[in-house]
Chains A and B, each alone.
Chain A
Amino acid sequence: MEPINIVKSVVTPLNRKNVDTDQIISKEFLKRIERTGFGQFVFYHWRFDQDGQPIEDFVLNQPKYKGSKILVAHENFGCGSSREHAPWAILDYGFNVVVAPSFADIFHNNCFKNGILPIELKVSEIEELLAKGEQSVLEAEVNLQNQTLTADGKVYHFEINPYYKEMLLNGWDEIALTFKYEDYIKNYEKKRVQFS
């Protein structure tokens, strides 16, 4: 996993609530057995019409957001299916920060395992970022160490669990970390409740 700390880019405003993982990566693209190559399919049915032509007014198709690494959306981002293909697709497309007022639990967890930083801000702050992002080109800088997002001269502070912060900053493999707790696991297994 790639470590992440400072991310600077233009903000992509996706002004929608309840963006579900079926929209992020549609089921017809789930049949790969690799983790990579999903970026081309991200938000497919919002990006392309039935003939495969780009839908011009969808944000991801607008040239001014090209190369963006920071996606800003509304409440309950990533709800629905547990498919980790959703964060894989987001990351593969080029985003490594997603900012929203709230995230669905499984998606939120999945982000940390893949080096994506999910940032929670207040609804009013999100609305401000979305509005500015839509009106013009909004550059932002995320600093994980300081837990800040700076845009248009304003500093937004965010909270993050220190455990996940550490993981992201170092790009750690969680499984290797857990192996250090092998003794605890063994002890637990000795006294575990078990009937069959």
Chain B
Amino acid sequence: MGKNIIEKVWDQHVVYHEDGKPDLLYIDLHLLHEVTSPQAFEGLRLNHRKVRRPDLCFATMDHNVPTKNLPIINDPIAKTQINTLAKNCEEFGVPLADMGHPDQGIVHVIGPQLGLTQPGKTIVCGDSHTSTHGAFGAIAFGIGTSEVEHVLSTQTLWQSKPKTMQIHVKGELGFGVTAKDIILAIIAKFGIDVGTGHIVEFTGDAIHKLSMEERMTICNMSIEAGAKAGLISPDEITVDYIKGRKYAPQGDKFEEAKKYWLSLASDPDATYNKTLVIETSEIEPFVTWGTNPSMGSGVSKTVPYASNYTEESDKQALKKALTYMDLQEGTPLTDIEIQHVFIGSCTNSRLHDLRAAANVIKGKHVHPNVRAIVVPGSHSVKKLAEEEGIDKIFKDAGFEWRESGCSMCLAMNEDVVPAGERCASTSNRNFEGRQGTGARTHLVSPPMAAAAAIAGHFVDVREIMNVPV
């Protein structure tokens, strides 16, 4: 019987197995950032331990770096965290892309961009959106700080073997529908905890026709469906993306790697513990109206009615969410006015995303009631975008063009949405207070965010788009 990619990669990494115990799993790549690592390094120091394989670690600063007026950090505590990471990396010999370094950026943007992310690797980071790297056919998942310390000391983790799940996207994607809409539709349809205890493989033509950047958007949000990790079997598109990147294998080594990578794809007769199917005909540009990523609908719909739900707890959850969001049941999504637009985050801040948004705003201007910012995912994305003149399109339209970082995705730096105001955001979480205390977040794709910036409220981007994104 055939194997799926999840089983192949997992089995390849088991250092020690004993029935009834979690497996001891080897970790190929450990990414680090300033917020979830300080206590781990402190633990090493207290126990006189060292980093076992600094060569398999890579660190950067992203979560609370300022995105304007570099290099001044006004927040003294953020400054402490940033300085602490630099000090720890130096002391323990961990490679670091420091603030201002050409390789700096959101950790999940730079891993792939530098060629560190490769098929078949096990990748961890003290950050839940580590699932992003699964786009390459890696098993990549977020871990807590104690586990960060465990990987630093041993390069391994004790992990119970997760169940496997296939989410099959059937059909061709419609005009104006993006990878972000696919994943938001999946979460809305199957729920925020459908993936709990599973690693999910996304399959289907609609998935394999996507570029690597779009695949990353999908895998990025698999954690929002509760999955331990999400991945996509590697194919020629995967291999082409990696070729020539800074830390990718070169020459003959690359050819050898390529053969191995392609062999990891799920066998045609592979089976899964669970299979879910979604038709592309069900997917239109999406907008979330609630306080978790499953609370969203196609842009042509309205905010739902409590009477749509059968379970009392779901009715209550809807009411709580709508109170927080200050929305009424039955309001058309296109009637919702916004005051902020954020294009950025590890979900949608890559070159493809910026191009797609720029395409929509070209020659237009941001609505007078809206403040719009673009935060490229990495230093390198910013530079490439500037070479293409994308920054100019944004600036001419009235967007602020920033330095790279997590920024308004979690508002740990100075980029905050004020209480009671609404933001159309290309990030991944619309939890209460995520973008600022009392802030109201609506998750959308980059073209939808761009269209909302122009109109001042949500619009169906397909109505104003002239070229497919």
**Residues of A that sit less than 8 Å from B by CB:** 17-18, 20, 22-23, 26-28, 30-35, 45, 50, 74-76, 79-84, 87, 102-106, 109-110, 113-114, 161-163, 174-175, 178-179, 181, 184-185, 188-189, 192-193, 195-196
Contacts and interface: CB of A to CB of B under 8 A. Distances in A.
B120 A193 contact: yes
A104 B196 contact: yes
Contact of A196 (B21, B250, B431): B250
Nearest to B76: A31
Given A175-B149, A181-B16, 10 more contacts: A23-B432, A30-B35, A33-B39, A35-B39, A82-B128, A104-B196, A178-B153, A178-B156, A195-B260, A196-B250
Interface residue SS majority, chain B: loop
B15 A188 contact: yes
Contact of A105 (B49, B118, B197): B197
Contact of B226 (A17, A32, A79, A81): A79
B468 to A, nearest CB: 33
A36 B75 CA distance: 21
Contacts of A161: 20-22, 160
Interface of B: 12, 15-16, 20-22, 24, 26, 28, 35-36, 38-39, 42, 47, 49, 64, 75, 77-78, 80-81, 84, 115, 118, 120, 126-128, 130, 141-147, 149-150, 153-156, 158, 160, 162, 192-193, 196-197, 226, 228, 247-250, 253-254, 256-257, 260, 292, 313, 317, 410-412, 419, 429, 431-434, 437-438
B192 A18 contact: yes
Contacts, number: 174
Given A82-B36, A179-B154, A105 B196 contact: yes
Contacts of A105: 162, 196-197, 226, 228
The 4 closest A-B pairs by CB, nearest first: A113-B146, A84-B144, A33-B38, A31-B77
Contact of B431 (A23, A83, A181, A189): A23
Contacts of B115: 196
B144 A31 contact: no
Given A175-B153, A195-B249, A196-B248, A184 B16 contact: yes
A114 B146 CA distance: 8
A31 B76 CA distance: 10
A13 to B, nearest CB: 14
A81 B158 contact: no
Contact of B146 (A28, A74, A174, A189): A174
A163 B434 CA distance: 35
Nearest to B26: A188
A30 B37 CA distance: 11
A32 B76 CA distance: 11
Contact of A31 (B81, B155, B192): B81
A96 B192 CA distance: 26
B154 A178 contact: yes
A27 B438 CA distance: 13
B144 A75 contact: no
Contacts of B153: 175, 178-179
Contact of A175 (B22, B47, B412): B47
The listed residue with most A CB atoms (<10 A of its CB), out of B28, B147, B149, is B147
A105 B197 CA distance: 6
B12 A193 contact: yes
27 contacts: A20-B431, A22-B431, A31-B75, A31-B78, A31-B81, A35-B39, A50-B437, A74-B313, A80-B431, A83-B35, A103-B196, A109-B144, A161-B22, A162-B21, A163-B21, A174-B158, A175-B47, A175-B153, A178-B158, A179-B153, A184-B15, A185-B15, A195-B254, A195-B260, A196-B115, A196-B248, A196-B257
Contacts of A104: 193, 196, 226
Nearest to B18: A163
A185 B26 contact: yes
A184 B64 CA distance: 39
B419 A50 contact: yes
A82 B63 CA distance: 13
B26 A17 contact: no
Contact of A22 (B16, B162, B254, B434): B434
A185 B156 contact: yes
A100 B378 CA distance: 39
Contact of A178 (B128, B150, B197): B150
A27 B410 contact: yes
A114 B145 CA distance: 10
A113 B38 CA distance: 16
A131 to B, nearest CB: 13
Contacts of A195: 118, 249, 253-254, 256-257, 260
B88 to A, nearest CB: 10
A80 B313 CA distance: 20
Contacts of B147: 109-110, 113
